[in-house]
Structures are given as structure tokens and as C-alpha cells.
Amino acid sequence: MFEESGNATFPPEDQKPSMFRMSVTYIALIVIILAVFLDLCIIMAYVRRPRLLTAFNVHILLLTVQELLCAVLANPIVIQQNLSRNVYMTNPAHCSYQKYIEWTFGSLMLLQHDVICLDRWLALLRPSWYRTKTARFGVTATLCAFVYQQTWYLPLFVAEMMREIVPDSICRTTVALPAYQLVVRIATHFLPELFVFLSYPMLLWRVWKLRKTRFHRLKTVRRGSRIEGQQRSSTGSGSAEARNLAVIYARTASIDLPLQLMSSRRTHDELQLTLWLLILQIVFWMPPTVATVLRSINSALDQDLFNLALLLPCALLLIDPLVYLIFLKNVRNEIFGQFKGFLQVPCVRRVTMI
């Protein structure tokens, strides 16, 4: 949901959208409807079972809420504008609503991914401190991200709403304060994206390094146990040196807290989930970023391709919940349990009536 820059000039387009754009837009509409359904299922699972909330998956719940609000409040505007670009152009109230929603959700979800990245870095680098944190810590981090985004954007929004609206101007184009507008875009869009792009290979390298070190430590422990077993078989009770060696191996394998953290199945799934979210974010947000930059420098980019690039992040609204359900086993089981309960209730009623 990138808003078009006020400095950009756009080629004239027909009022009637092309068949390609209409097809892509209706596909996006179906994706959004399915995404809303999955988001509601995930949110209801946490509402019914608050004990599922942890310091990590509270970020997932908050991101799900943001995606649900984006699907309900922001994406219908994008879809309408792809079908008819004149929508909201003549109504200042609707136009201001569109600008605020697109700017806010477009950058807030990026910032939420940054919060998830920071959470994983804290879990890896400061595991003892991180284990003392609760779900409230995650809520506070998201509130800080929201305040950060609003602090940058609200002055631009007020300046944009105070200017006189040109009758034939495009509503989604922001014109006010072009220099400050660039600063806001960098602070709330491009820097969060850059952090996501840099965090993915670094987290991937960190996970690979921890797995490799853990493998060597486990191999060392097995070697120590084998030495002690051989000594016991040869002497009957085992030498003190062999026993001490085995103890040293075991202690060496246990003192590295990040390795203990990685040995946890839940933490492993959380890291895998984070890596998947980051790579999906990179894949689906790179095209609209590149397309927006190309249009801002007056590149001859096809209008249909540009609109397709802007709609690509809509796919994340459906893909993200599916990824959550794959890696968050407890949430998945809770949702399946809800559906089982819904299916069993009619059967119980029929048996009772008979």
C-alpha cells in the first residue's frame, strides 16, 4: 500500500480499467476475504485461550490484528481505486481517510516486522533477560512502533489536509511538504524495510552457526560418554579421568545459553517462523518499492504492472496466517478444536431430538 509521491507525474489512463487489472483486483478481493476469515480464527483462538500468549507470539497476535484492520479498512480503498480511480477524489473527508489509512497501515506492519526481528535478536543475544519478559513487553514494543510512526506522519497529514485540494488531482497523491515527506518515507518505510532485508541473512547465519555449534557439542558429549564406557568395560568401574572428562564435556555443552535456547522446540519454531515472515516480506514488498521508485523518477512503467505491484502485498494477508498456523502448533490445535466443536454440536442436537 504505497502512496504515490506528490513529486511524481503519472501518464494519463483510461477511466475504464483494463481486463487484466480487473481480473487481478477481483482475485485480490477473494484473497482478502479468505484472509479476514483466517485472521478472525487466529484472534478467537487467543481470546478463548489467553494462556497461549507468550512474549513472542503476542507479536504474531498484534500483527494479525493489524492485518485484519488493513484488510477491512485499507484494502477496499485500494481495490476500489484500481477499478475506478475517481473514487474519493471529490470528497475531502474520504480523501483524508484514505491518505491516513494507507500511510499508517503500510508502515505500521513493516515496523511490526522490525519488532519481531528485534525480539528474536534479544532472545538469541540476551536469553536470560528475555526469559523474564511477558506478553506485556510485546504490547509495549508495538505501542512504541505506533507512536514512532505517528510522530513522523501526523505533521505531514495535517499539512496535507490544510492545503487546497485541486479538483482534478489524484486523491492518493501527497503534495504537501515534499522535503519533509521524503524524510517521513525514509523513516517509516525505507529504513524499516532495510532493517528487514539486513536481518534476514544475519538471523539465518546465526541460526546456522548455532545449529553447527550445537551439533559439535552433542558430538563431543557422545564422544565423552563413549570414552567413559570404554574405560568402564576395561577397568570395571571407569577411571576418574574418564569420568571427569565426561562431566567436562556435559558442562561445556550446557553453559552456552543460546544453545540451550536453540534446543527448545518452541524457540526453534519461533525462529523458523520469523525467517519465513522476513523472506515473505522481502519477496512481496520489493516489487511495490521498486515500482514506486521507478514511477517517482518518471520511468515508463506500464500502468497495469504498476497496479499489480501495489496489489502484491495483499497476498501477505492470506499467506501470513497460513504460516502462523504451520509453526504455532498450539494455536493450530485450538482452531481445529473450535471447528470440531462446531461440527459436533449439530450431531449432538440431532441425537438428543431422536
Domains and CATH numbers, the chain: 19-209+265-353 (1.20.1070.10)
What integer pLDDT is reported at residue 253 of this predicted model?
Answer: 46
326: left (phi over 0), alpha (psi -120 to 50) or beta: alpha
Over the chain (354 residues), what is each successive 10-residue block's mean pLDDT?
44 60 83 92 90 88 92 82 62 77 86 91 85 89 94 89 67 79 90 87 77 61 54 54 54 49 62 86 83 72 74 85 88 84 59 48
* pLDDT for residue 272: 82
pLDDT at 217: 58
pLDDT at 51: 87
Q: Which of 210, 207, 216 is closest to 249 using CA atoms?
A: 216
Dmax of the chain from CA atoms? 96
Q: What pLDDT does residue 86 have?
A: 56
Instruction: State how far the Cα of 69 lies from the Cα of 72, in Å rounded to an integer.
Output: 5
Q: What pLDDT shows up at residue 6? A: 44
Q: How much is the pLDDT for 90?
A: 59
Place of cell 504455532: 328
Question: What pLDDT score was predicted for residue 13?
Answer: 47
Q: Considering the entire predicted model, what is its pTM?
A: 0.75
Q: Are 1 and 313 in contact (CB under 8 A)?
A: yes
Of 136, 56, 52, 68, the closest CA to residue 331 belongs to 52
